[in-house]
Structure 1
């Protein structure tokens, strides 16, 4: 009789299943949130790199334009690459400027911040609006109707 009154220690199968279901619900809510934060961080990396290219392009264009009123792709590439110092790489940059030598915007193809292997397209207009390619695998720069004229293309 004593043996029958002895209590078994441990959890029942129902208790374990309830805990697993609760953990599954928490994961279903948490994982998408974490992934969206990771995507936002990646976008921020590309936007920062695009702004760095814009600033380097603007400074290089102003330097070249002030000296000769003519901007060559070779001189502009040299200046941009010196300013970026290997922290940002790209496939090509199209620099749009007005007749006074003021840069209106840049379109960047194959933009790669340091530590990132996948290039991505980006367009920066007036250092205010940064548009990234919709797909992380899309290296082409998004179009912007405000960028008109013949750009100086740096490759």
Structure 2
């Protein structure tokens, strides 16, 4: 159970580091305040709404439905992301444009830089797993920001744990 909780936390932690940039990419600066407010409020709303919803689910069904509701919610969110969230990664956008230009012109010389890479999927995954640790250990500012974030989030979630007992 402890190992599964570790991997659950590891997978869920990407939200804290990636979601702010994703929200910033999706909306123009003039309309960014409301989406960023919702993103910033989400760590506070989840611990308050989750137990209430879980209590209702467990009261009217059995405990297994708590997990089924999470699976259904995740599937709905995944489908909405696939349909509504635009791609913002520049190399992928360039590849799409190059594919479109090749199709329109018939000229096979239109290649995006990402298409010229001959790195295997295994090497890409390994690089993606090692790179964050390289940044953490060799970039002082990254280490300092991670420590600050860990302390602040630790205090925040300790507060959530204590506030339920008050």
Q: TM-score range by the shorter chain?
A: under 0.3
Higher RCO (C-alpha 8 Å, min separation 6): 1
- Give the structure with the higher percent helix: 2
* Larger Rg over CA atoms: 1
- Give the structure with the higher percent strand: 1
Query: What TM-score do the two structures reach when normalised by structure 2?
Result: 0.25
